[in-house]
């Protein structure tokens, strides 16, 4: 019995399986057009996914793995039980296994041994006693503004810039920056509400905070029953009396600039104040200012106003230059102020008695170095550094590395507290399985990075490319696999030769890694986009956005979808000659029953080869069909979908009567192999 698994997109959410022998198409994962994330540990037909793409099947374990691309997850369906679960990218569970997507903020509750951290979409909490991470608010990766009055875990939020914990009243406040509000979670009930703000603006002083307008609220500080808010876009610091819930402007005149040192803080000018910790900070003036709460006089305590630069170590703080100060948090137990210089990738600490600033974490180089002295470590765009006097730790939100890190102030060693730098997953384009060594490879397309997971040990590490979301490019032939890669398409593993093939749609080449030597090679393409070279050396041919790829060990060939040219091409691995085997080069839908080279395709993507029948399957994405090419005869036919008509219908009917919507991922399971 032959099975074809395909990702069928209804609002980019469905995976279905087609059974050729029974001539039926039926749901396998998901059963509706609901977009989102859900259903883990339940029946696969009840699961909710977002833009599923790559599919692989492990016959030894009888499990189907798929990349839930929109949710940044690798999920698995156990075909023995039909239960679905997440294997990579889960945002809950053991701290060092949890997926942390670009942490912005950290809040500590020393009374309960808890550490909260916020991202663009969610708030999680680390229980330091159990070392487990739990999601308490938001839905990854969905941003928005909804859910007030209901469970916080069902709410949509949009940028958690700051978190403060009110242990006395069992509340967690956070700034929902892009929604221009401050929200609060009741930890007893789990209910979320908007505490301050309505729409973007500047109004409401001396009235209820819930009726006021804020513009990009960022830093929060809870002090003496007043919640201070850095109203960044309005260039002021506002205060909310938690007894009356009345909001007032405390510091600043509402005009951007820098003046007022030595005078009343209410008359001073600020320039986008970002965070607050007994101090008002402002980013664009590259300094930290302090307000004496007794005299209300404001002074600059760190940095040189209007002048940016790289901070020096162990100098008077007001002589230093900084570049984009995002965080400054005070530790009363040591009378110290921790300063995060986001752009310089460094955290400094200032002794508030001597006003001397010294390096605390980071060297200034962007990267990831862990388990060393903090001053020798590398961090990548830190957002905040929050001291926890109860444990003598300082927690750092390491944004690009997708982890929360911890510095032990006794030893000055830095470690990862939450997340796993190696396990970072974001934007899958494909997965591939090595059944011999039981490895799963997955591509993070936009990063130009391929990672590998040992299915037995669950260990994940980088395999090819460079772990840097801001750097993609082109590496030459015959180089180590951990070299620069460009935007990736799909992957295919050749179990016979122990090779991993890569469709590099950004590099305009087909590459492969020898998994024995870990060397990277080019199989086809010149890196210059175009359509040329048929019947010649594949290394001299021009390609345009290669995406899908599959291996044919029967005929010793590699097939790939030359997406930008609307054709399928073949590399003969005996002589390295490249040819077009399907598609005329013009977009359209025609040619069924005739030679595949004369047919019109439209945006061909995923490919899958059946070695038992010598048939190549193609997801003809913009025609909303699955097509098949008989490699022996060269004839093309449509095997699923109506052709140019998109939709979602036809379950448990003939697959050629079913409507599909932009099918992408594709997998042949021949006789359950």
Per-residue pLDDT tens digits for 590-601: 999 999 999 999
What does the DSSP 8-state code read for residue 169?
Answer: T
Nearest to 492 by CA among 550, 554, 450: 550
CB 657 within 8 A of CB 597: no
Is a pLDDT exceeding 80 seen at residue 15?
A: no
Highest mean pLDDT (candidates 107-111, 216-220, 291-295, 563-567): 563-567
Within 13 A of 364's CA, how many CA atoms are on the CB side?
8
Query: Strand, coil or helix: what is 177?
Result: helix
Confidence (pLDDT) at 287: 47
> Cα-atom radius of gyration of the chain, to the nearest Å?
28
Q: What is the dihedral of CA 267, 272, 275, 277, to 10 degrees?
A: -20
Across the range 341-345, mean pLDDT stands at 90
- Alpha-helical runs (H) found in 543-671: none
Across the range 162-177, mean pLDDT stands at 93
Confidence (pLDDT) at 575: 96
pLDDT band at 24; cut points 50, 70, 90: low
Q: For 21, left (φ over 0), alpha (ψ -120 to 50), or beta?
A: alpha
What spatial distance separates the first Cα and last Cα of the chain, rounded to whole Å?
10
Is a pLDDT exceeding 70 seen at residue 47?
A: yes
Across the range 309-325, mean pLDDT stands at 84
pLDDT band at 348; cut points 50, 70, 90: very high
Cα–Cα distance measured from residue 484 to residue 38, given in angstroms and rounded to the nearest whole number: 35
Beta strands, E only, 371-469: 372-373, 382-388, 393-398, 403-408, 413-418, 428-434, 439-444, 449-454, 460-465
Query: Strand, coil or helix: what is 505?
Result: coil
Cα–Cα distance measured from residue 575 to residue 537, given in angstroms and rounded to the nearest whole number: 8
Is a pLDDT exceeding 90 seen at residue 631?
A: yes
* pLDDT tens digits for range 464-514: 877 554 445 555 677 877 777 888 888 999 999 999 999 998 889 999 999
Confidence (pLDDT) at 221: 86
Across the range 184-193, mean pLDDT stands at 96
CB 362 within 8 A of CB 342: no
Place of tokens 């793409």: 53
Is a pLDDT exceeding 50 seen at residue 18?
A: no
Confidence (pLDDT) at 288: 64
Across the range 125-149, mean pLDDT stands at 87
Confidence (pLDDT) at 659: 82
Q: What is the dihedral of CA 659, 663, 665, 669, to 10 degrees?
A: 30
Position with higher pLDDT, 119 vs 497? 497
Position with higher pLDDT, 631 vs 40? 631
Across the range 178-192, mean pLDDT stands at 96
Across the range 600-618, mean pLDDT stands at 92
Checking DSSP bridges between strand 298-303 and strand 315-316, what pairing results, if any? unpaired
Sheet with 546-552, strands from edge to edge, namely: 536-537, 577-582, 567-572, 557-562, 546-552
Query: Strand, coil or helix: what is 656?
Result: helix
Place of tokens 């979808």: 561
Extract the tokens encoding 666. 């594709």
Confidence (pLDDT) at 476: 63
Confidence (pLDDT) at 26: 54
Domain 2-89+425-670 is of which CATH architecture?
6 Propeller (2.120)
34-38, 186-190, 373-377, 434-438: least confident range: 34-38
Q: For 513, left (φ over 0), alpha (ψ -120 to 50), or beta?
A: beta
Is a pLDDT exceeding 70 seen at residue 16?
A: no
pTM: 0.63
Q: What is the mean pLDDT of the chain?
A: 81
Cα–Cα distance measured from residue 604 to residue 620, given in angstroms and rounded to the nearest whole number: 4
How far apart, in Å, are the Cα atoms of 373 and each of 411, 417, 632, 664?
8, 15, 63, 47
**2-89+425-670 and 323-421: identical CATH topology:** no
Confidence (pLDDT) at 7: 47
Cα–Cα distance measured from residue 519 to residue 481, given in angstroms and rounded to the nearest whole number: 5
Is a pLDDT exceeding 90 seen at residue 212?
A: yes
* pLDDT tens digits for range 217-276: 988 888 889 999 989 889 888 999 999 999 999 877 666 655 545 555 455 545 555 555
> Domain residue spans in the chain?
2-89+425-670, 323-421
Dihedrals phi, psi of 270, to nearest 5 degrees: -120, 160
Confidence (pLDDT) at 52: 67
pLDDT band at 582; cut points 50, 70, 90: very high
* pLDDT tens digits for range 643-655: 877 777 767 678 8
pLDDT band at 602; cut points 50, 70, 90: very high
Sheet with 509-514, strands from edge to edge, namely: 479-480, 519-524, 509-514, 499-504, 491-494
Place of tokens 């001291």: 387
* pLDDT tens digits for range 402-460: 888 999 999 999 998 887 665 555 555 577 878 888 888 877 776 677 888 787 776 77
Cα–Cα distance measured from residue 377 to residue 371, given in angstroms and rounded to the nearest whole number: 8
Confidence (pLDDT) at 281: 39
Q: Which fold has domain 323-421?
A: Thrombin, subunit H (2.40.10)
Confidence (pLDDT) at 349: 93
């Amino acid at each position: 019995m032959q099975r074809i698994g395909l990702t069928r997109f209804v609002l980019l959410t469905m995976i279905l399986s087609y059974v050729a022998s029974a001539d039926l198409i039926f749901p396998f994962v998901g059963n509706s057009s609901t977009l989102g994330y859900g259903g883990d540990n339940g029946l696969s037909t009840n699961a909710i996914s977002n833009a599923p793409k790559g599919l692989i099947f492990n016959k030894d374990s009888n499990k189907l793995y798929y990349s839930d691309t929109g949710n940044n997850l690798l999920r698995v369906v156990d075909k023995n039980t039909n239960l679905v679960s997440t294997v990579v990218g889960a945002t809950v569970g053991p701290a060092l296994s949890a997926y942390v997507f670009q942490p912005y903020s950290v809040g500590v509750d020393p009374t309960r041994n808890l550490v909260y951290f916020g991202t663009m979409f969610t708030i999680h909490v680390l229980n330091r006693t159990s070392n487990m991470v739990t999601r308490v608010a938001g839905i990854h990766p969905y941003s928005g503004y909804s859910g007030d009055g209901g469970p916080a875990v069902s709410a949509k939020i949009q940028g958690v810039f700051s978190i403060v914990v009110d242990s006395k009243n069992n509340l967690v406040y956070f700034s929902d920056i892009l929604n221009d509000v401050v929200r609060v979670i009741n930890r007893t009930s789990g209910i979320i509400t908007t505490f301050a703000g309505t729409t973007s603006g500047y109004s409401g002083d001396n009235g209820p905070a819930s009726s006021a307008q804020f513009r990009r609220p960022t830093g929060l500080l809870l002090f003496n029953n007043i919640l201070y808010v850095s109203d960044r876009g309005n260039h002021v610091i506002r205060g909310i009396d938690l007894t009356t819930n009345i909001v007032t402007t405390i510091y600043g005149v509402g005009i951007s600039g820098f003046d007022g040192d030595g005078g009343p803080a209410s008359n001073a000018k600020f320039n986008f104040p970002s965070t607050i910790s007994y101090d008002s900070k402002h980013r664009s003036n590259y300094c930290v200012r302090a307000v004496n709460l007794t005299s209300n006089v404001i002074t600059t305590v760190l940095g040189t106003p209007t002048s940016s630069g790289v901070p020096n170590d162990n100098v008077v703080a007001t002589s230093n230059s900084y570049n984009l100060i995002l965080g400054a948090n005070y530790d009363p137990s040591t009378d110290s102020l921790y300063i995060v210089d986001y752009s310089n990738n460094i955290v400094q600490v200032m002794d508030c008695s001597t006003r001397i600033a010294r390096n605390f974490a980071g060297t200034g180089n962007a990267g990831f170095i862990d388990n060393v002295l903090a001053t020798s470590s590398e961090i990548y765009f830190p957002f905040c550094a929050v001291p926890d006097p109860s444990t003598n730790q300082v927690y750092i939100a390491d944004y690009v590395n997708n982890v929360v890190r911890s510095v032990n102030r006794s030893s000055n060693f830095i470690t990862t507290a939450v997340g796993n730098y190696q396990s970072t997953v974001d934007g899958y384009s494909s997965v591939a399985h090595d059944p011999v060594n039981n490895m799963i490879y997955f591509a993070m397309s936009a990063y130009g990075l391929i990672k590998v997971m040992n299915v037995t040990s669950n260990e994940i590490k980088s395999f090819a490319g460079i772990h840097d979301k801001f750097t993609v490019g082109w590496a030459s032939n015959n180089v180590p696999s951990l070299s620069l890669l460009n935007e990736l398409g799909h992957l295919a593993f050749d179990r016979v030769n122990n090779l991993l093939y890569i469709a590099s749609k950004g590099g305009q080449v087909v590459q492969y890694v020898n998994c024995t030597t870990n060397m990277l090679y080019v199989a086809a393409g010149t890196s210059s986009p175009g359509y040329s070279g048929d019947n010649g050396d594949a290394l001299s041919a021009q390609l345009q956005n290669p995406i899908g790829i599959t291996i044919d060990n029967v005929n010793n060939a590699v097939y790939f979808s030359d997406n930008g040219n609307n054709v399928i091409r073949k590399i003969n691995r005996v002589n390295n000659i490249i040819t077009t085997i399907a598609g005329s080069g013009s977009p359209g839908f025609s040619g069924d029953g005739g030679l595949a080279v004369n047919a019109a395709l439209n945006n061909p993507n995923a490919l899958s080869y059946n070695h038992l029948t010598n048939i190549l399957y193609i997801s003809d994405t913009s025609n909303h069909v699955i097509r098949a090419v008989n490699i022996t005869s060269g004839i093309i036919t449509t095997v699923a979908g109506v052709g140019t008509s998109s939709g979602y219908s036809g379950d448990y009917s003939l697959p050629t009567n079913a409507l599909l919507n932009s099918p992408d991922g594709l997998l042949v399971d021949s006789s359950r192999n």
